[in-house]
Structure 1
Amino acid sequence: MPELPDRPNLDQLRRQARELLRGAADGEPSALIRLRAVSARVSLSAAQLALAREYGFASWPALHAEVQRRLTELPAPGEEAGRAGTRWSFGGAAAIQTAAGTLYPGVLVASPGDAALDASLMVNGQRQGRLAVPPRDGSARQAWAFAESDALSALAETVIGTVALTDDQGTTYVLRVREISGSPGGQGREDEPVSLRLAVEPVPARDRGWLELRGQHGSAARLVPSARPDARVSRLAPVPEGPAARELSDLALYLIGLIGIDQNDMERRCAAVLARAADVEQSAEAGTAGDLPGQLDRLCAFLTGRGPADGLPRGWSGMISAAKRADGAQLHLDISAALPPVDDIVVRADSLVSEPESWRVYLRAEPGWWTYSADRDHKWAAMLVRAEDDLGGLYLSQFGGSTGDGDHEELVLRFLPRLNPLARALTLTFTRAAQQATIELRLP
């Protein structure tokens, strides 16, 4: 028997009943079995009764009453933001030296039961290039992969063996490697860092004045508590753009986010995007795509070296000009805001960290971030996320990894280009289907 969620959505339950009715009307065996367990008639009232019984209620009105009761017991909007604030963070540390190379601490995000520090490592010259480029032969390639994995493990142990973490109260913390990715053996660019996520035990208390990382040769750096900016969460509202314009805009941002890739690859990506744009324009209602198809043509001409970046929307041009800049605002903030539920999905924005070349937002999604196809071979993000600053600058979000934790999923979204250091406000827009909600932040 399915359990009613803690945050039941009456519209979602009505939708489930209608879907059950449609399935039974179409002769789907499973739907007919569910419906005939409560009624010989194929009707909406029978579908509602079947759904109520499956959730353990005697009738649809009884289910309806329980939903209303739970909704009235939910926290008020201000209290909800407090619940989202059960995570806190520390950041702002400079680089330190380790036996494996230079460690660049990012943000340490903590909750009552867990804490992790994100960091990147520039491997020193003595360790770079120890492994050759992966061979083409299958068995040799597999052996190379095992060696690469061993090299990463050894690198991780070297890092945590030469780094200590303490705080202003004299607490000493234990660091463990939770995740590591990259290529210490020389595949890719030599200047490409290795990404680390280090578990921190015990969890640093929110009231700590600072956390200090100590490395080799007396190098040390302090992580300090993140500031709390003013954050305003909107109500759910209809998406102002039509689906055609929204998809074409997203395709444009996707292409701009690829600036710097191989030219042949860019040619292929542009060809695929323009083909999709033609399909969208043909199937959309007249005029709903506006000038976007032509603007996409001009964008692809520029990205493939066949034309200037003229006649593009201001936001696109701004992203292009900022694509390779590394003067991003240096910030680490605790957002601590929860979005209104959409289709039983609750998203909480916890922290934001901005670095010279990009910036990231740490989120939680309940019950999860991904929607799967029936065969689970394909998945889609629960929401599309965009950002815009008060100077008109647009930002593209990219998935930066996630971990599941029972009733919720923790994830990171990476945004490009770098956060404009002159921006004083930032709006994050979360879109699902035809609805959206925003978080407006005042930047320091």
Structure 2
Amino acid sequence: MVALQRGLLMSKKVVELPDIPAAGEELEDYVAALFQASGHYVEKSIVGSDPADIFELDIVTTDYAHEGAMRRLTEVKGGGWGYTDLFKVVGWMKYLKIQHGAFFITRWDDRKTAPSKMGPLGLDVVCFDDFRAAPEEFTEKGFGTFAAQELIELWRHSYGVERRFVKLLHKQAKKGDEGAKAAKAYHRQINNGTFLARAPEESLALLYEAYGEHPKLTRGYAHELDGVAFDPQSESPDSASYRAMLFEGKYPELQACTYLEHRARLSILKAAVDYALAHPDGTPELILEDGKNWIFQGLTYHALPATFHRGMTWLREQPNFSRYATFWQQLLWGWGGFYLDDREEQEFEWMSRYSGIPVEEVPLALEAFDRFFPIPGGWFINAGPTDVRMVKMVPWIFQGIGAHHRRVQYGLNEQLNLSALNPSSQYTLSDLSKRINCAVDFLLEQR
């Protein structure tokens, strides 16, 4: 993997990943990256309560390549572990009705018989005692294959941004920023609060409720940073902080809020996919029983916004809709929310290979946000006079991850010279370099 480093002729700041991830967050990110790089939809660090006890799930993945969808609960341990830990995961699996589980460790601790004992319970126990062989072992165990192993490190960098965004918002909330407090609560709602919903339609209702409570989260927080009271319903577009975030990549706390707003949209799209898979014969209707009593079926679903119902009608018509949530997760946090207009054919081929969506259907998949969350002018814009065709409001820092991705995809030289792209627009190189520099600076400053 080419190092995540600032642009050519800039200071030699570089973000390096250890070959052997440390226990804790680094190890969780590594295992999650294996799943993400092999085409799974990944959810991380889910905290729940039931109701007097609190539990945290390291990783939950969904494989939409199977008929329907296959979920897997994964726990990661870098230190001491025992059979109590294994049975705890099995208990979570039963409670959450997840049939497949995995427990990743870095040493056996004289328990090499664990795989044979836990396998019949649906829990695979895997030891990564040699990380040079970890991707190969991951594939041999049947978890998935990689279109490109370089994606593993890409996703480790992406998770690094995600974690730092959340930590930054917590830090600013402790300082008293009302916008950060609201963003912290919003993150809990979309990351944790909807996961334990009993059905996709309940999850959708909770997501839309949270989404409706924070329609202008980033803009409201920007006004607070400008010296005005925080207002998540703010309609005023005039904000110096907001413009600096949007056009210069400033204010990472505001970028973290735009990340959360897109996370909410992505979560709604995933719940929509899950609902369509759970109800392949269509939406339940209200029915009349015995000519007397009304039986209300799918009342929660019918109460969702009209834009959602129109989106669902469109979604069901797409032959590979089951992969759309995974596609958009890859697009936003791996590709940086953009593609290069002058290299569209090549980039769509890569997107197809990584997501499993036929290349001719990639343009349809790119319509998903416009279908579910219609806005004037649509979600895709050209970033000024460049070849960058991007989703509105994707944080500069994630755009930097995507720009770095192009370095790797196009096999650029060790000097990381983006000019080898030879773009059709003279402004594309500086545009991509600024985003990479923004990502590197943020990752180093927020260590």
User: Is this a same-fold pair by TM over 0.5?
Assistant: no
Q: Larger relative CO (CA 8 A, sep 6+): 1 or 2?
A: 2
Larger radius of gyration: 1
TM-score (normalizing by structure 1): 0.21
Name the structure where strand makes up a greater proportion of residues: 1
